[in-house]
Amino acid sequence: LNVTEETFVLDTLAGCIEYRSLLDVVVNAFFALDGRYCPISDRNLYIVICYLAAFQLEELGLQQFSRIVKSLDAAKMQKFLRFFFNALYLNTWIKDEWSHFYNSLYVKENWIDPLLRWQPKVQKLIEQLTDKSSNRTTMVKTSTVTQPKEFNLTVPKPRAIPIPLPIPTLEKRKPVPTSTYKPPREKKQLEEIKTKNRQKAEVSKKQDITVPILSKIYDNHKITELPATSSVEKIHEYKEQRSTTTEIIAEITIDNIPIKLNAAAILRESALYQRKMEQELKRIESLLQGARDPSEFLEWQKQMQGKDLEEQLIEIECRRLQGKLSHEEAVLAHQNVIQENKKKADLRREEKAELMHQYAEKRLQEQKEMRELVEQVVEGHKNAKQAKIKLQKYKQQIVQEVSEENQELLRQALEEEEKQLRKRYELIQQIRAIESLPILKHKFVDLTETGGHGLICEMSIVELRERLALLREAQKAAEEEKRDQIIQQKQAKEQLLLDKLDQISLFRAELGQAAALKQEEKKRKSRSGERPVKDERILNLQKKIVEKRMERKKQARLL
């Protein structure tokens, strides 16, 4: 084969595989209706002819298609083409079957409508095939296909670039005032009043507490420093009376303060206070046995920590002042940069004005040239408009002729469809009349009888209902017992939590009073102590900052 013939064969093979589902619909229907006595070995031949007629007829042309068909058996081709190009089949079941695979609008516009357009010309080819099969020959008139030519129109020149508009410069806005970022004075005054009221309330609460816990414990168990011979006896007496400490705590009566806590928090806090209580008792025991008091070491440790803290504060102050000094230096450098930028901007403005003047002169020359070209193009467009009007009239005539032929074919197809619809409607009415006849089906059921399947566990519906009722009653009784148990557990837990809350309130009161006493001692120490003298490094840095600030103000005035 040649290269063109080989490509044509490969394209047809690929198309037959791609549209196999659509082609099988037509070929299977042909073997069922008109080709009942045709051999099944010709199936692939009919598939290829169906593909060429449905999808490649416009590309091949009628002349090339008729040459292929005439090279085959005339009787077979005549029978198949008459079946395939039947207008009624194309508009009804072929269109419906193909719509299952593709969109109905796409099937109608791209495949069915072109086949209906080719149907009268293919009909002449079918008549020639019938004459050939009966040893008669007739000439097929083929119409020449018009080939459109492109118009020789002038190509428009590209448009010139317009003059860029100057970018408007915005005025500098005023800076945001510093007062927006500072809180108002009224807010500070309200916060001070709140803190004073809170302190008064705490003092009043502490005064209402009658007897502290630890003082009562120590009053009941007065332990003094004794000689070594009698200390062992006092320790034994203390251990015997230790079991009564919880009873003493419970006897103390104070005002019940409302505390909003969950169960886990209450138990956690009570365990914490219990642990602290045990630690305090162990500490007292160790002191009785002759252990040393670590108060002197703790005081020395506090003094050393205070000195370290003062050194850290001095270093922090030095860093802060160094940051201020670097800020002042950065502001001075920024002011110098602004002066240099102003000088550069003045030079650029002068250069820009010269360039804009030159650009305006060029634009005026280009506009004059464009006007001359436009006048020449307008004269050429007048001749092109007349040719377009003649072509539109010719196209309108062709469209009218084609539309008249299509209307006649559609009218014939609609008449045949109406006949089939009437027949279907009559059949549907008959089927509905048969279905509307009543069918009597009565079946009586006895609920007391068993199914009769021969099983040991068989029972009637009545017995099943009774057993279900008994099971429900037993389930309800079990649920009620469980509910009672849950309620009792909840009550016991609530009681335990209430006891824990009472203990927590006692401990909190005592701890608050101890904290208040510590704060008062701290205030006294702070009042009595003298203020620390500032470091020499800090004083030097402050002097440098003042000098830099004065220089910055001078430069600002000059600017």
- Quick one: three-class SS letters along 39-105? CHHHHHHHHHHHHHHHHCHHHHCHHHHHHHHHCCCHHHHHHHHHHHCCHHHHHHHHHHHHHCCCCHH
Question: So what's the pLDDT on residue 503?
Answer: 85
Decide: residue 129, CB within 10 A, 0-12 exposed, 13-18 middle, 19+ buried. Answer: buried
- Give residue 355's identity as a one-letter amino acid code: L
Length of the chain: 559
Tens of pLDDT, residue by residue, the chain (559 residues): 788 888 888 888 888 888 888 888 888 888 888 878 888 888 888 888 888 888 888 888 888 888 888 888 888 888 888 888 888 888 888 888 888 888 888 888 888 888 888 888 888 888 888 888 776 444 445 677 888 888 888 888 888 888 888 887 777 888 888 888 888 888 888 889 988 888 888 877 666 554 444 444 444 444 333 333 333 344 444 444 444 444 433 333 334 445 467 888 888 888 888 888 888 888 888 878 876 767 777 888 888 888 889 888 888 888 888 888 888 888 888 888 888 888 888 888 888 888 888 888 888 888 888 888 888 777 767 766 776 787 788 888 888 888 888 888 888 888 888 888 888 888 888 888 887 766 655 666 778 888 778 788 888 888 899 999 999 999 999 999 999 999 999 999 888 888 888 888 888 888 888 888 888 888 887 776 544 445 677 888 888 888 888 888 887 787 7
- Residue 426's SS3 state is helix
Place of tokens 């796409």: 106
Decide: residue 60, CB within 10 A, 0-12 exposed, 13-18 middle, 19+ buried. Answer: middle
Contacts of 533 (CB under 8 A, 6+ apart): none
Question: So what's the pLDDT on residue 393?
Answer: 82
Angle between helices 43-55 and 62-70 (to 10 degrees): 170
Closest CA to 95 of 106, 80, 81: 106
| Residue 27, H or E segment | helix 20-32
What's the CA gap between 550 and 557, in Å, rounded?
11
Question: So what's the pLDDT on residue 338?
Answer: 85
What's the CA gap between 251 and 231, in Å, rounded?
29
Question: So what's the pLDDT on residue 251?
Answer: 39
Question: So what's the pLDDT on residue 441?
Answer: 59
Closest CA to 90 of 412, 427, 424, 423: 412
What's the CA gap between 129 and 74, in Å, rounded?
5
What's the CA gap between 26 and 46, in Å, rounded?
9
